[in-house]
């Protein structure tokens, strides 16, 4: 009997070993509550199998229980492994420079025919394919090779431009695979998603366990934010005049600061609504939700949804993005051009849904709503609850309040939770905002997107200019509107809310970065593009510089680390 118990305990340990400690603790607690060993083992096996099935490689790849130090060590090993396998890379890169260099005019600076580079490109491609398989074994996905090159015949079917683009892609990606910092970024992202996917499968992302994101990911994200803040506080930016600011101080002054980000969003929404009122547009508030198969658990009970098909919040966001592309194409066909904002936020189990505040012509409102409803219901539109939960539309009644006020709670909830008493599920709004931020970070979800409106980069650059700047009258009027936070007037003076970027009165102006010693234009770290930096604004044939200083970053108490550029 003792031998059987010991063997069973070993089996339990083997089942739990691949999981993060927090999941091990949960499953161990459930195991101990079972009435019999048989039922305990059955439940444990089923729970672990559910997690294993949603993982592309099962428990292979990055171990789920890895921490930051483990990921750093793994990144070092992976980059060194790729460096060893790519011993011929410097030779091939040197030979392909005439073909792949970025000349000012034309596609190639090479005097030799493209076909003379075929063998080198084939060798480079074979190297990439081998490294791609290695990366995928570590849960790092890489693009499939477009237009696979394997013979002279294959080369002959491609245009010169396509061949050069392909060679550049191979050179750039292999350079990344040899780099420690690239690997660390990729492994962190892949590991965060893998852990959160396991937590979804274990059904501990819901309002009863951990709302919006798992406690594991929330705690890890808090640690990452603390490390980032420490780094910002330990480094300072220094300009040619000797002015010094910590990176933390500079970060607090831009939209990285949640308060600044929230304020800017609210100003832009208010300005959009002001324009809508002037033009007599009607406001509509839409909500679009994913089909049932994207939801891990039920909102009322927190119990697992038997129709869940292993989808993650990222899959749900991809579904909504594709849906919106189709809706916008339909709008285009019907000549409906709405203005507004789209907000993505998580439901209790992390499944995203969208809120859209749109303004359009009064005679187009019914058609716009009908198009949105039609596309929202096309996939699994007959499933139970679809008619009630998948799509909702409400007209904004100005007598009951402004459209900006209506959407303000969704902005606050998804940024810092300020000015809210409680969340939709009764959760603390400040803590909820932190969990939403974790959800956004883990799954790479863009939460806010404006529909219509001019360049916000231009808006921000104008607000850097002082009243004393000598500007043409037209530019000064736009600068004044931006300085007064009048998003409506700013857009009208820039050419209108529907004005194309290239036709707007002012456009951001970028400049190449040059090597001080050689005078050559600097390439990016991986050689895939020239380094450009934002320096000011372009107006007709004139350029107005908004970033006057050259900055470098130093660790406090040490020598200069690296140039930062213009700020």
| Residue in 208, 410, 425, 526 annotated catalytic | 410
For residue 208, the SS3 value is coil
Residue 172: closest CA among 98, 89, 241, 236? 89
Q: To 10 degrees, the CA torsion angle through 254, 257, 261, 263? A: -100
| Residue in 31, 38, 406, 539 annotated catalytic | 406
Radius of gyration, CA atoms only, the chain: 27
Answer whether 353's CB lies under 8 Å from 414's CB: no
Tokens 């792949």 sit at which residue? 100
Residue 271: closest CA among 464, 453, 476, 499? 453
Distance of CA 526 to the CA centre of its chain: 21
Residue 386: closest CA among 288, 270, 467? 288
Residue 357: closest CA among 444, 449, 267? 449
Answer whether 442's CB lies under 8 Å from 221's CB: yes
Q: Catalytic site residue 510?
A: no
Q: Catalytic site residue 410?
A: yes
CB burial string 171-209: b at 16+ within 10 A, e below: bbbbbbbbbeebbbebbbbbbbbbbbbbbbbbbbbbbeb
Q: 1 to each of 5, 6, 437, how far by Cα in Å?
A: 6, 9, 51
Answer whether 526's CB lies under 8 Å from 179's CB: yes
Q: Which residues are annotated as catalytic?
A: 406, 410
């Amino acid at each position: 009997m003792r031998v059987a118990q010991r063997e069973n305990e070993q089996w339990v340990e083997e089942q739990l070993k691949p999981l993060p400690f927090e999941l091990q603790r949960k499953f161990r607690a459930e195991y101990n509550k079972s009435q019999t060993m048989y039922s305990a083992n059955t439940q444990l096996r089923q729970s672990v199998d559910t997690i294993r099935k949603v993982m592309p490689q099962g428990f292979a790849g990055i171990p789920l229980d890895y921490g930051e130090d483990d990921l750093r060590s793994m990144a070092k090993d992976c980059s060194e492994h790729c460096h060893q396998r790519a011993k011929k890379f410097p030779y091939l890169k040197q030979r392909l420079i005439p073909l792949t260099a970025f000349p000012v005019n034309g596609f190639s600076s090479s005097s030799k025919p493209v076909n003379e580079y075929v063998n080198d490109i084939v060798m480079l491609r074979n190297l990439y394919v081998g490294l791609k398989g290695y990366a995928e074994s570590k849960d790092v996905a890489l693009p499939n090779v477009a237009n696979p090159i394997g013979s002279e015949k294959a080369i002959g079917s491609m245009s010169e431009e396509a061949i050069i683009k392909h060679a550049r892609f191979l050179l750039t990606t292999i350079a990344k695979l040899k780099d420690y910092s690239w690997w660390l970024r990729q492994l962190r992202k892949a590991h965060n998603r893998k852990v959160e996917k396991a937590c979804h499968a274990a059904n501990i992302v819901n309002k009863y366990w951990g709302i919006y994101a798992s406690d594991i990911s929330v705690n890890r994200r808090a640690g990452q934010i603390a490390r980032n803040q420490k780094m910002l506080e330990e480094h300072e930016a220094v300009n040619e005049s000797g002015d010094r600011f910590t990176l933390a101080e500079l970060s607090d002054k831009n939209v990285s600061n949640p308060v600044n980000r929230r304020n800017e969003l609210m100003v832009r929404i208010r300005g959009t609504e002001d324009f809508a009122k002037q033009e007599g547009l009607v406001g509509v508030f839409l909500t679009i939700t994913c089909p049932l198969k994207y939801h891990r658990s039920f909102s009322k009970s927190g119990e697992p949804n038997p129709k869940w098909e292993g989808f993650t919040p990222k899959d749900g966001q991809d579904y909504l993005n594709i849906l919106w592309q189709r809706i916008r194409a339909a709008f285009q066909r019907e000549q409906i051009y709405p203005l507004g904002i789209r907000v993505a936020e998580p439901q209790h189990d992390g499944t995203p849904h969208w809120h859209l505040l749109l303004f359009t012509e009064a005679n187009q409102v019914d058609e716009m709503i009908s198009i949105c409803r039609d596309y929202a219901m096309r996939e699994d539109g007959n499933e139970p609850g679809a008619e009630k939960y998948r799509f909702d539309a409400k007209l904004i009644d100005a007598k009951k309040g402004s459209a900006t006020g209506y959407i303000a709670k969704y902005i606050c909830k998804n940024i810092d939770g300020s000015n809210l008493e409680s969340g939709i599920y009764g959760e603390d709004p400040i803590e909820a905002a932190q969990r939403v931020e974790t959800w956004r970070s883990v799954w790479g979800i863009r939460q806010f997107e404006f529909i219509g409106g001019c360049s916000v980069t231009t808006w921000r650059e104008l607000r850097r200019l002082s009243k004393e700047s000598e500007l043409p009258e037209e530019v000064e009027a736009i600068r004044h509107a931006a300085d007064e936070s009048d998003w409506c007037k700013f857009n009208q003076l820039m050419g209108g809310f529907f004005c194309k970027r290239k036709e707007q009165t002012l456009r951001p102006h970028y400049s190449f970065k040059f090597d001080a010693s050689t005078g050559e234009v600097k390439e990016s770290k991986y050689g895939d593009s020239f380094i450009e930096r934002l320096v000011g604004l372009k107006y007709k044939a004139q350029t107005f510089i908004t970033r006057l200083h050259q900055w470098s970053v130093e660790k406090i108490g040490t020598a200069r680390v690296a140039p930062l550029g213009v700020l």
